[in-house]
């Protein structure tokens, strides 16, 4: 019993000491991000040419250099990969992805984006040289990939930067402006009626750039229910979900109950061995304790 209590105490001390360290955000610079792209075995030669622009993309649009960033709806990490892409390329949960170091996050993002650069839509944009008065530089190409090649196709087919804007009003041109300038100096090309909030539609910066957002939105742009928004925000900050915390609490409570049952059982057995209680009394106590154990296990199993 004492050994178990000492073990629980060591766990609690370890949790209190280590958890704040794990929860601290790892902030990196644009130069470190660019170097990680150059060092990535998954980055294509074309992607490596855009290394500096990728550093600016992360700092000015996506995360402010925060490797643990979460935009409140869909995207995680320094370059804001969606949860779907994280599962596909990294084969892990978004919470675990947030705890990866910069190089590992860049490696997975580079694998995704290198494939995106080979998309015919992106190649079409590159071959255009200019689009709606914007030079087709690394910033515009990356914006095309980040906002989605399907959305980029809509923009190109329209011939105008206003051909597609996400729920925040971000176009590939306004995103490119923000990558290059640190802020969107124009809404993107002539005739663009969409207003831009200066945040990536696929991943609003977790650093609070979009202060006008009145609710946390899902990937489609719809406001999430308050309880779901709170749960996602908690998971983004803590690195694990409320349901996981709930399971841990139930497990600790169940363990405590089982320890109490075991202790009571030992005490009753000693009293029976000394002849202080009759056999029928021992049987009654055992049945009651067994029922308690079954109830505890039932609660834990269905919680």
Whether 234 is in a domain gets the answer: no
Q: Most distant CA pair in the chain: distance in Å? A: 97
Q: What is the rounded CA–CA span in Å between residue 295 and residue 33?
A: 53
92 and 164 within one domain: yes
- Tens of pLDDT, residue by residue over 178-237, are 999 875 443 333 333 233 333 333 433 333 333 333 445 444 445 545 555 566 566 655
Q: What is the rounded CA–CA span in Å between residue 285 and residue 278?
A: 11
Q: What is the rounded CA–CA span in Å between residue 184 and residue 197?
A: 8
Q: Which residues contact 129 (CB under 8 A, 6 or more apart)?
A: 135, 136
161 and 41 within one domain: yes
211 and 79 within one domain: yes
Enclosing H/E stretch for 35: helix 30-39
Q: How many domains would you assign to the chain?
A: 2
Q: Tell which of 191, 224, 257 closes a domain.
A: 224
Whether 233 is in a domain gets the answer: no
Q: Tell which of 224, 256, 278 closes a domain.
A: 224
| Residue 240: predicted pLDDT | 60
217 and 246 within one domain: no
179 and 90 within one domain: yes
pTM equals: 0.55
181 and 43 within one domain: yes
Whether 14 is in a domain gets the answer: no
The stretch 265-287 carries a mean pLDDT of: 83
Residue span of the structural domain in which 287 resides: 242-302
| Residue 154: predicted pLDDT | 95
| Residue 115: predicted pLDDT | 92
- Tens of pLDDT, residue by residue over 66-114, are 999 998 888 999 999 999 999 999 999 999 999 999 999 999 999 999 9
């Amino acid at each position: 019993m004492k050994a178990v209590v000492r073990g629980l105490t060591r766990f609690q001390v370890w949790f209190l000491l280590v958890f704040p360290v794990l929860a601290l955000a790892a902030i990196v610079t644009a130069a470190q991000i660019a170097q990680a792209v150059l060092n990535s075995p998954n980055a294509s030669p074309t992607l490596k040419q855009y290394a500096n622009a990728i550093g600016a993309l992360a700092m000015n649009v996506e995360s402010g250099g925060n490797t643990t960033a979460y935009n409140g709806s869909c995207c995680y990490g320094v370059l804001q990969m969606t949860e779907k892409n994280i599962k596909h390329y990294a084969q892990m949960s978004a919470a675990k992805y947030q705890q990866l170091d910069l190089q590992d996050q860049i490696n997975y993002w580079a694998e995704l984006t290198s494939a995106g650069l080979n998309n015919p839509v992106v190649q079409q944009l590159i071959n255009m040289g200019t689009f709606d008065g914007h030079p087709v530089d690394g910033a515009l190409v990356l914006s095309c990939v980040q906002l989605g090649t399907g959305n980029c196709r809509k923009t190109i087919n329209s011939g105008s930067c206003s051909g597609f804007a996400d729920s925040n009003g971000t176009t590939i041109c306004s995103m490119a402006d923000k990558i290059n300038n640190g802020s969107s100096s124009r809404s993107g090309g002539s005739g663009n009626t969409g207003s831009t909030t200066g945040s990536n539609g696929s991943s609003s910066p977790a650093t609070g750039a979009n202060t006008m957002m009145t609710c946390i939105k899902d990937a489609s742009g719809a406001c999430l229910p308050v309880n779901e928004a709170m749960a996602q925000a908690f998971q983004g900050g803590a690195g694990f979900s409320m349901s996981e915390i709930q399971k841990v609490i139930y497990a600790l409570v169940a363990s405590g109950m089982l320890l109490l049952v075991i202790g009571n059982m030992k005490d009753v057995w000693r009293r029976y061995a000394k002849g202080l209680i009759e056999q029928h009394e021992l049987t009654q106590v055992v049945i009651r304790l067994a029922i308690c154990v079954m109830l505890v296990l039932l609660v834990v199993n269905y919680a």
